[in-house]
């Protein structure tokens, strides 16, 4: 059944739906969703709040490891945003990190309604080995990824453009990956991200026409 188009205005209607520790608690796997994945503390939850223009929808914190479950936000009966626990933060107990990795891996491998990943990466740093692993996995499974070069308010104009060029070069070989500059705190790149997310959700993005 074709889905109704998902328009950027729908993002403002986002509502918290549930937080799931275990797959049995996930929202039913119908309709379409995009998930925010990436390093701990990189700004995934802040990006969700900025894109939905809801200040406290997703919980943010200076302390890495804040998002500890898979959090589902509903836009309407069909479309969802998903906030995934971050990876790569050494101070999280090993057992909890392993639990997250296992559930996130299972989510990525099994979730039929997952249309794409949004991957915030700190624009001042190169992607980590775990970011690369995730990008390689998405390439292998043809899952589109939209990279947000986040915290770009921390750089002046020249350095920001340099970061964009460098990221473009480093990801040029990956046809399923798009990227943009972004700042949640300084409202940079919000409209571009909103358009991209709604295109991915409704399958308008050409990368969704994969076989
Ligand atoms: N300057 C600046 N700070 C940001 C930006 N985005 C997020 N932050 C800050 O970075 C910190 C972490 O943000 P979160 O959104 O909680 O990060 P997260 O990726 O969800 O973290 P986990 O849930 O721990 O994986 C907070 O102190 C935010 O205020 C941004 O664009 N610019
Ligand atoms: Mg978070």
Listed as ranges, residues in the chain with pLDDT below 70 are 1-3, 90, 210-211
pLDDT, tens digit (0-9, with 9 covering 90-100), for 7-34: 889 999 999 999 998 889 999 999 999 9
Tell me, using a 6 A CB cutoff, whether residue 78 lines ligand 1: no
Q: State residue 1's pLDDT score.
A: 46
Q: State residue 150's pLDDT score.
A: 97
Pairwise CA distance, residues 164 & 170, whole Å? 10
10 Å Cβ neighbour count for 87? 21
Pairwise CA distance, residues 81 & 104, whole Å? 15
Domain edges within the chain: 8-204
Pairwise CA distance, residues 61 & 81, whole Å? 19
Q: How far is the CA of 38 from the centre of ligand 1 (A)?
A: 11
Q: How far is the CA of 211 from the centre of ligand 2 (A)?
A: 32
Ligand with an atom nearest the CA of residue 48: 1
Nearest residue (by CA) to ligand 1, atom 2, is: 151
Q: State residue 101's pLDDT score.
A: 81
CA distances from 9 to 14, 25, 61, 76, 123 (A): 10, 28, 27, 12, 27
Q: State residue 55's pLDDT score.
A: 86
Tell me, using a 6 A CB cutoff, whether residue 62 lines ligand 1: yes
Please name the residue that has the structure tokens 């797959």: 23
Tell me, using a 6 A CB cutoff, whether residue 65 lines ligand 1: yes
Pairwise CA distance, residues 179 & 161, whole Å? 13
Tell me, using a 6 A CB cutoff, whether residue 151 lines ligand 1: yes
Nearest residue (by CA) to ligand 1, atom 8, is: 43
Q: Does domain 8-204 have CATH number 3.40.50.300?
A: yes
Tell me, using a 6 A CB cutoff, whether residue 31 lines ligand 1: no
């Amino acid at each position: 059944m074709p889905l109704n188009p998902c328009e950027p205005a729908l993002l403002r209607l986002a509502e918290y739906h549930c937080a799931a520790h275990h797959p049995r608690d996930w929202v039913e796997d119908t309709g379409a969703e995009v998930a925010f994945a990436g390093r701990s503390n990189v700004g995934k939850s802040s990006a969700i709040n900025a894109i939905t223009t809801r200040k406290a929808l997703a919980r943010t914190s200076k302390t890495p490891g804040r998002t500890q479950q898979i959090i589902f936000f509903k836009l309407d009966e069909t479309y969802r945003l998903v906030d995934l626990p971050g990876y790569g933060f050494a101070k999280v107990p090993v057992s909890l990190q392993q639990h997250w990795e296992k559930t996130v891996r299972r989510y990525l491998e099994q979730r039929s309604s997952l249309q794409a990943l949004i991957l915030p990466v700190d624009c001042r740093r190169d992607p980590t080995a775990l970011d690369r692993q995730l990008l390689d996995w998405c390439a292998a499974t043809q899952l589109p990824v939209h990279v947000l070069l986040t915290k770009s308010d921390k750089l002046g104009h020249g350095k920001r453009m340099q970061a964009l060029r460098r990221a473009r070069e480093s990801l040029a070989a990956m046809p399923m990956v798009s990227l943009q500059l972004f700042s949640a705190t300084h409202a940079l790149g919000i409209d571009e991200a909103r358009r991209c997310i709604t295109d991915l959700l409704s399958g308008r993005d050409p990368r969704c026409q994969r076989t």
